[in-house]
A and B are shown apart, each in its own frame.
Chain A
């Protein structure tokens, strides 16, 4: 039967945080000290911890010395010195190339690219050097200590060059990992995991959430495992997969979908003697949505998504990046291969459009919650079980209410759309 657990009362801004996300602490703390932090402060805390725990670690990039244009590196240069935290010349290929060299000598190099939109000059270094460093050398060398951080995504007014989501380019490169956190607490744990992971990692931070997202973040040193997706909202009717800032949008879509369908209430008073349980079920049941945060896009956790879709039968993927060739296509194709017979509807992708990221037109470009809600997967989620339930009720009502055929007809129209 359909779940009645699909609704949560959301207290915090951040998706999934009331659910109690799976977290692995490096130190067992019963009463962990937490602090209310926004995203850039959480990132800052992670960087402080990273530099503190490994004396051979470095943080550098453009304008990193004074704290960075998004304040993620505040206080680091003062605390750890200008030899470990420093500004670089304005040259992304140099920044990443230099970072690879540092990492190749066994250091941890946490490199900042000022905006993901500017990462492309470094693409050759990332693809042809970082990603292949271990493999081509037969594991004699590696640059696993390299982590590249970059703010990505829409910010409301960023236009072409301050809003891009380039994750799909990097997901196509064997040898690197791509990680995208959804919230402050996730970001701190995932960033520490990324820095300490023995493989080069590209870490995209949703700049929209730098100030907007506030969450209780534990103050201690903890890591969240990579390549493990998290079900941040359980449901039965449809699986939604996303990452980063888009999860907030998708959660709103989930809430909307779970609302009672208004017109059911209108009919309620006209039904007589329908089984209590059946009526209650129909009245209370909206669409139960299961929301998954992928967190790591490469290598991605297919098993969690697969298990979810096998349960729900429907999949909706949403990302800001343009739909064509976006990472949603990879998820869609994989799930289709693995869950074809369990799918009740085509996989939906609610994504950005195939245009450069526009300024004035941003609200039209973005994959909003209403676009998600009205996508085919979410708008007609009647599962077979519910079909049978309603058919059964229809038959029962018809039998019972032979004197009111008009009522039955209108009832049928409402539910068999």
Chain B
């Protein structure tokens, strides 16, 4: 496939892709199921903006019933629709014989696979993607070291997951709202969050948009449509569904996107959210970073299904498994998923397989539960940066020189950002009490007075870098 395409050819290619990428279903006719609703009047009960709801009897239009040639075949009629009966006692297997295959475009060495389908990426986008992956990795390195030196209280890296972070962000529009877990700062980076802004939050200074209230890496930016990180696992998933529903109702050309890990897929909120998304027909992308580990818990202790991708079907959600370390595959998958989500008003589940190269956080030493060799192998042989770099370079869009220029620039910027963030003063004490409610109620005003009196009486009990 040619990489350099004019826009007209590109649209043809996309149409081919759309036809081929498709999705597996009993028959392709199922794509049009929603128009063959047996109970027509449903649409007339809705607002005229053509937002439809799946009729709960859609099961009876599945081809499995129509395909029975036997004139004696009967169906059983229950709430939920007609089902064919079978005299055989047959349990559906707990798993398919083969695991769901994983979509990728580049091989382990960054060479494009000959028959790969993907959404083309312009030079500009590809260069920005690769640069941001490098920036993310360097930012993580330097902040991690700063924590080790005692300058930061805490940090969590996204090593190994740079492609997921950056490529997914690149495939989205700035209007798509993001509900992150905590290992997706790359999405913010892509959208323009500066290294200084990252540093401000990590140091909790007065320029932190979060006003110093949360631990490092709990970023948020309303300007960039990135909802503030909360440490609770998977709680953001149902929130994303509600936000997606709002976008649909407001008729926006945008979707909600939410990230979570393999561990997060065990939480109740995951199941709640997927079910709601399907029933509410919400344009939301569920992107699972299956990096093999939930702190020290490997996926074999997390679930017994074939990963997370198979869970989508249980909720009636279209799903795909992607090589999360392949930037092009991630980009294409998210790009296509986004279009489907908005156009068809449906949720999509993307399971991005990857590996968590770093420790869970600075409070973790992962060599205690996995071998250093394993970590090293994934860091070197399956590194998403080197794979993508190979492809970008093969197009003549990158070189060693641009690499070293970038790296020295980022390093300088990072060190400066940390220097500035460290010496910027902390937020004022009154920000402990503001924003609990829109306006501080009486009990908080009283408590602030009490705290200030306590400070006057025992100033040494309190840090001197918080302005009063």
Contact = CB atoms under 8 A, between A and B. Distances in A.
Contacts of A138: 208-211, 213, 220, 228, 435
B151 to A, nearest CB: 22
B243 A97 contact: no
B438 A198 contact: yes
B242 interface: yes
A97 B273 contact: yes
B238 A97 contact: yes
Contact of B245 (A98, A141, A299): A98
A137 B212 CA distance: 10
Nearest to B248: A83
Contact of B241 (A97, A121, A141, A144): A97
B415 interface: no
A24 interface: no
A97 B47 contact: no
Contacts of B61: none
Interface in B258-275: 268-269, 272-273, 275
Given A128-B235, A144-B438, A136 B210 contact: yes
Given A136-B214, A140-B221, A303-B442, A125 B235 contact: yes
B45 interface: yes
Contacts of A174: 436
B240 A141 contact: no
Given A89-B279, A91-B272, A101 B442 contact: no
Interface string A285-309: 0000000000000010011000000
A124 B268 CA distance: 11
Given A89-B275, A142-B438, A104 B227 contact: yes
Contact of A105 (B177, B218, B434): B177
Contacts of B208: 138
A88 interface: yes
Given A98-B280, A135-B213, A175 B436 contact: yes
Interface string A104-131: 1111010000000000010011001100
B230 A129 contact: yes
Interface in B193-211: 208-211
Interface string B421-444: 000000000000011111001110
Given A82-B53, A83-B46, A128-B235, A141 B442 contact: no
A124 B232 contact: yes
Interface string B385-403: 0000000000000000000
Contacts of A83: 46-47, 51, 249
Given A83-B249, A93-B272, A141-B227, A100 B239 contact: yes
Interface string B265-293: 00011001101100110000000000000
Interface in B344-403: none
A89 B276 contact: yes
B276 A88 contact: yes
Interface residues of A, number: 48
B247 interface: yes
B435 A97 contact: no
A227 interface: yes
A174 B236 CA distance: 20
A129 B210 contact: no
Given A89-B279, A124-B235, A199 B443 contact: no
Contacts of A125: 235, 238, 269
A185 interface: no
A332 B232 CA distance: 34
B189 to A, nearest CB: 18
A197 B422 CA distance: 38
Contacts, number: 159
Contacts of A314: none
A134 B435 contact: yes
Interface in B439-456: 441-443
A98 B276 contact: yes
Interface in A130-176: 132-142, 144, 174-175
B243 A105 contact: yes
Contacts of A134: 435-438
B53 A141 contact: no
Given A83-B46, A137-B227, A138-B213, A97 B222 contact: no
A75 interface: no
B237 interface: yes
Contacts of A97: 235, 237-239, 241-242, 269, 272-273, 276
Interface in A165-200: 174-175, 177, 198-199
Interface in B136-180: 177, 179
Contacts of A129: 230, 232, 235-236, 239
Q: Which interface residue of A105, A124, A132, A303 has the most chain B CB atoms within 10 A? A: A105
Contacts of A88: 276, 279
Contacts of B268: 93, 121
Interface in A255-308: 299, 302-303
Nearest to A200: B437
Contacts of A100: 238-239, 242
Given A81-B46, A83-B47, A88-B276, A94 B246 contact: no
A341 to B, nearest CB: 19
A337 to B, nearest CB: 11
Contacts of A142: 438
A94 B241 CA distance: 9
B220 A104 contact: no
A102 interface: yes
A83 B436 CA distance: 32
A105 B442 contact: no
A136 B276 contact: no
Given A98-B280, A121-B268, A91 B275 contact: yes
A106 B243 CA distance: 9
A235 interface: no
Contacts of B227: 104, 137, 141
Interface string B215-232: 000101110000110101
Contacts of B273: 94, 97
Contacts of B236: 129
Contacts of B435: 134-135, 138-139
Nearest to A301: B442
A136 B442 contact: no
B275 A141 contact: no
Contacts of B244: 101
A381 interface: no
A184 B46 CA distance: 32
Given A97-B241, A101-B243, A141 B222 contact: yes
Contacts of A128: 230, 232, 235
Given A94-B276, A302-B443, A109 B45 contact: no
A244 interface: no
Contacts of B239: 97-98, 100-101, 104, 129
A99 interface: yes
Contacts of A198: 438
B186 to A, nearest CB: 20
6 contacts: A91-B276, A100-B242, A101-B256, A105-B250, A124-B235, A140-B228
Interface of B: 45-47, 51, 53, 177, 179, 208-211, 213-214, 218, 220-222, 227-228, 230, 232, 235-247, 249-250, 256, 268-269, 272-273, 275-276, 279-280, 434-438, 441-443
In the complex, the 8 A-B pairs of residues with the closest C-beta atoms, listed nearest first: A101-B242, A97-B238, A94-B272, A101-B239, A105-B246, A299-B441, A137-B228, A140-B222
